[in-house]
């Protein structure tokens, strides 16, 4: 293996940073700055190797020239997956000034997420998100500590608890029934199901959060989507933290400040309105609380009042909307795509659903309990297409992982996409084969480290139950009620499965289909 100090930094930058041409001078100066800094002062990886450590463990070398692995426009998770084939399950990359540790094996993932859980209970700092948040970044980006613990408790026990998820059942059923009506209206013509799935899923999340449909919520959801998109186009300043001014020069800071103003206007307005109406609504016995109501009620309670300011509530709500916005629809989209390609699987699940719920116009959640195959399909989709391809953490102290020194502040990317395709863990890993989960104990709880779609441990996704409830009901109804064909005479094997890049990995090209109502349903 060839080891050079700068090779990786420069080769990986174009992968991580998508930038406009007018930013080129800034980028070049930054790279030049780094080269000079490296030449004259050395860089942090060389400091790493000089650290005093107990005998045995060794510094994880920075990999050398990897140009051969980086094909044009390939996503970072695929680049890192390919690197692992050559260099092993743990690789140290230098990206700008940041030490990045890529992990692609379940054993190493377990060491990080379980054995040394506390060391890695921190998320990478994101100056981009910080600029668009109000307090300490809600749950997702709050530093591990007392504040995070309190907010996490509110989210897990109050906002996304099993009881609360059940309470939103009729909301899900109503929204999905609206989706079915929209699909019916396409009357056998080609249409973009990806967009409809996205709107439905988004509608569920927004209505659960605010209890209403209104135009300002559409504005909020587009701002959150745009914000996530901008954040996924990782800014140069993220990998050169000492060049703090870059985010000002490249316009990212201004855009984030704009999003913050949009969030302030909409969320500030909604919180003020809901405060006025809350007491009368909550005293009505038929009233179902939405998430903002719950947070405002907790704001009045002596136990939680001290840390639930209006700004914290805004951050938490942005976490809820942001956490669910692209992820759940991505799973429905990928599952449907896989079934379009694998007609046997589609037929099998349709038969199971249609036999068990004969003649029903629409499936309710209670109808799904007996449909095991649908659950296997969702797991298999999450294995091959985890919407969040990385579980991202930061080391809070120097530690040793897999026999290597990992310095404090290293960013760790556990590649869930790669874990789901590891031939050491999965037979015939590239094949979409839901039956593999049939007699397996592997579940979504994050205790099987080859399958981490929702992460694991203390910072595991608190929205998993909420997400799965929507995904199951939406997918079940779509395949129960309609028969599906690809548009424009496309054969199943011609359907592309190209991934978009971003924080959430969805299809790059929308799924264009033709739906025909099935004669025995409804
Ligand atoms: C299919 C849908 C979803 C997937 C695949 C997903 C995946 C993930 C993953 C991988 C993490 C990081 C976990 C870790 O570090 O161990 C995470 C964190 C998080 N997710 Fe989700 N998520 C989904 C839906 C949701 C929904 C619907 C919400 C909110 C309603 C949500 C809210 C959050 C929050 C707040 C965190 C940060 C938790 C913390 O840092 O303590 N997610 N999610």
- Whose alpha carbon is nearest atom 1 of ligand 1? 328
Per the DSSP assignment, residues forming a β-bridge with 412 are 101, 393
Lowest-pLDDT range of 12-16, 78-82, 433-437:
12-16
Per-residue pLDDT, 66: 41
Q: With a 6 A CB cut-off, is 7 part of the ligand 1 pocket?
A: no
Check: CB of residue 13 under 8 Å from CB of residue 67. Answer: no
pLDDT for residue 344 is more than 60? yes
Query: How much distance in Å is there from the Cα of 140 to the middle of ligand 1?
Result: 8
Average pLDDT over residues 275-283: 69
Cβ of residue 179 lying under 6 Å from some atom of ligand 1:
no
Residue 324 CA: which ligand 1 atom is closest? 27
Q: Answer whether residue 65 shows pLDDT above 90.
A: no
Closest Cα to residue 372, out of 388, 390, 348, 344? 348
Expressed in angstroms and rounded, the spacing between residue 34 Cα and the centre of ligand 1 is 34
Does residue 320's CB lie within 6 angstroms of at least one atom of ligand 1? yes
Would you state the pLDDT for residue 242? 80
Ligand 1 within 6 A of CB of 211: no
Q: Does 43 score more than 60 pLDDT?
A: no
CA-to-CA separations, 490 to 185, 278, 326, 381, 511, in angstroms, rounded: 22, 52, 26, 22, 11
Task: Report the number of secondary-structure helices (H) and strands (E) in the chain.
Answer: 22, 10
The predicted model scores a pTM of 0.88
Determine which helix (DSSP H) or strand (DSSP E) holds 271, and give its type and residue range.
helix 252-282
Q: How do residues 165-200 score in pLDDT, each as one tens digit?
A: 999 999 999 999 999 999 999 988 999 999 999 999
**pLDDT above 90 (res 281):** no
pLDDT, tens only, 174-183: 999 999 999 9
How many A from CA of 464 to the centre of ligand 1?
Answer: 7
Which pLDDT band holds residue 62 (cuts at 50, 70, 90)? low
Average pLDDT over residues 205-214: 87
Contact 332, 471 (CB under 8 A): yes
Q: Is the ipTM of this complex over 0.90?
A: yes
* Residue 327 CA, ligand 1 centroid: distance in Å: 9
Atom from ligand 1 closest to the CA of residue 331: 1
Q: Which ligand 1 atom lies nearest to the CA of residue 455?
A: 16
> Worst-scoring range by mean pLDDT, 27-41, 275-289, 301-315?
27-41
Tens of pLDDT, residue by residue over 147-165, are: 999 999 999 999 999 999 9
Give the pLDDT band of residue 9 (cuts 50, 70, 90): very low
pLDDT averaged over the chain? Answer: 85
Pocket test for ligand 1, best of 463, 464, 475, 503 (most atoms within 8 A of CB): 463
CA 148 to chain centre: 19
Query: Percent of the chain, pLDDT > 90?
Result: 61
Say if ligand 1 is within 6 A of residue 475 CB: no
Q: What pLDDT does 45 receive?
A: 37
> Ligand 1: does its nearest atom lie under 6 Å from the Cβ of 434?
no
d(CA 76, CA 70): 9
Return all residues near 6 (Cβ < 8 A) that are at least 6 apart: 34, 35, 38, 94
Instruction: Place 358 in a pLDDT band, splitting at 50, 70 and 90.
Output: confident
Lowest mean pLDDT among 2-16, 167-181, 324-338: 2-16
CA of 388 to the centre of ligand 1 (A): 8
Q: Does 144 sit in the ligand 1 pocket, CB within 6 Å?
A: no
pLDDT-derived band of residue 216, with 50, 70 and 90 as boundaries? confident
What is the whole-number distance in angstroms between the Cα of residue 67 and the centre of ligand 1? 33
Per the model's pLDDT, the better-predicted residue between 118 and 229 turns out to be 118
Which tens digits make up the pLDDT trace of 391-448?
999 999 999 999 999 999 999 999 999 999 999 999 999 999 999 999 999 999 999 9
Q: What is the pLDDT of residue 53?
A: 35
CA 341 vs CA 338, 378, 490: distances in Å:
5, 15, 11
pLDDT at 85 over 80: yes
283: pLDDT confidence band, cut at 50, 70 and 90? Answer: low
Pocket test for ligand 1, best of 119, 125, 454, 473 (most atoms within 8 A of CB): 454
Kindly indicate the confidence band of residue 118, based on its pLDDT and cuts at 50, 70 and 90: very high
**How far, in Å, is the centroid of ligand 1 from the Cα of 489?**
37
**Residues β-bridged to residue 390:** 415
Instruction: Decide which of 434 and 241 is more confident.
Output: 434
User: What percent of the chain is modeled with pLDDT above 70?
Assistant: 83
Mean of the pLDDT values across residues 22-36? Answer: 45
Query: Whose CA is closest to atom 37 on ligand 1?
Result: 140
């Amino acid at each position: 293996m060839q080891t050079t100090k700068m090779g990786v930094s420069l080769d990986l930058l174009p992968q991580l940073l998508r930038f406009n041409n007018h930013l080129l001078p800034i980028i070049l100066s930054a790279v030049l700055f780094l080269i000079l800094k490296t030449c004259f002062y050395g860089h942090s990886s060389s400091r790493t190797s000089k650290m005093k450590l107990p005998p045995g463990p060794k510094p994880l070398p920075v990999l050398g020239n990897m140009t051969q692995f980086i094909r044009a426009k390939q996503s970072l998770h695929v680049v890192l997956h390919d690197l692992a084939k050559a260099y092993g399950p743990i690789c140290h990359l230098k990206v700008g000034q940041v030490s990045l540790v890529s992990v692609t094996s379940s054993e190493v993932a377990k060491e990080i997420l379980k054995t040394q859980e506390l060391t890695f209970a921190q998320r990478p700092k994101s100056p981009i998100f910080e600029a668009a948040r109000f307090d300490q970044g809600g749950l997702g980006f709050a530093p591990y500590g007392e504040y995070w613990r309190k907010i996490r408790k509110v989210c897990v026990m109050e906002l996304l608890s099993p009881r609360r998820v059940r309470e939103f059942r009729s909301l899900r059923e109503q929204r999905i029934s609206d989706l079915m009506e929209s699909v019916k209206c396409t009357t056998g013509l080609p249409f973009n199901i990806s967009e409809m799935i996205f709107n439905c899923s988004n509608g569920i999340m927004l209505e659960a959060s605010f209890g209403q449909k209104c135009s300002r919520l559409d504005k909020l959801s587009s701002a959150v989507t745009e914000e996530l998109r901008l954040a996924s186009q990782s800014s140069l300043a993220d990998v050169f933290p000492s060049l703090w001014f870059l985010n000002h020069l490249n316009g990212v800071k201004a855009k984030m400040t704009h999003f913050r103003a949009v969030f302030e206007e909409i969320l500030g307005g909604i919180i003020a309105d809901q405060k006025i109406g809350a007491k009368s609504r909550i005293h009505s016995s038929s009233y179902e609380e939405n998430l903002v109501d719950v947070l405002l009620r907790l704001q009045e309670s002596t136990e939680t009042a001290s840390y639930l300011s209006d700004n914290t509530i805004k951050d938490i709500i942005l976490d809820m909307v942001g956490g669910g916005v692209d992820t759940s629809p991505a799973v429905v989209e990928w599952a449907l795509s896989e079934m379009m390609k694998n007609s046997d699987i589609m037929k099998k699940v349709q038969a199971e659903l249609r036999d068990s719920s004969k003649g029903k116009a629409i499936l309710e959640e209670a109808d799904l309990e007996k449909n095991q195959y649908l659950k296997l399909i969702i797991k298999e989709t999450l294995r091959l297409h985890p919407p969040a391809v990385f579980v991202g953490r930061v080391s809070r102290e120097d530690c040793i992982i897999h026999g290597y020194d990992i310095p404090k502040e290293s960013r760790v990317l556990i590649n869930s996409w790669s874990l789901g395709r590891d031939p050491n863990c999965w037979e015939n890993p590239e094949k979409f084969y839901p039956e593999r989960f049939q007699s397996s104990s592997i579940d979504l709880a994050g205790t099987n480290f080859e399958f981490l779609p929702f992460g694991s441990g203390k910072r595991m996704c608190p929205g998993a139950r909420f997400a799965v409830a929507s995904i199951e009901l939406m997918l079940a109804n779509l395949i129960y009620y309609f028969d599906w064909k690809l548009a424009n005479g496309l054969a199943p094997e011609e359907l592309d499965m190209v991934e978009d890049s971003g924080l959430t990995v969805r299809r790059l090209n929308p799924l264009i289909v033709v739906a025909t109502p099935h004669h025995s349903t409804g």
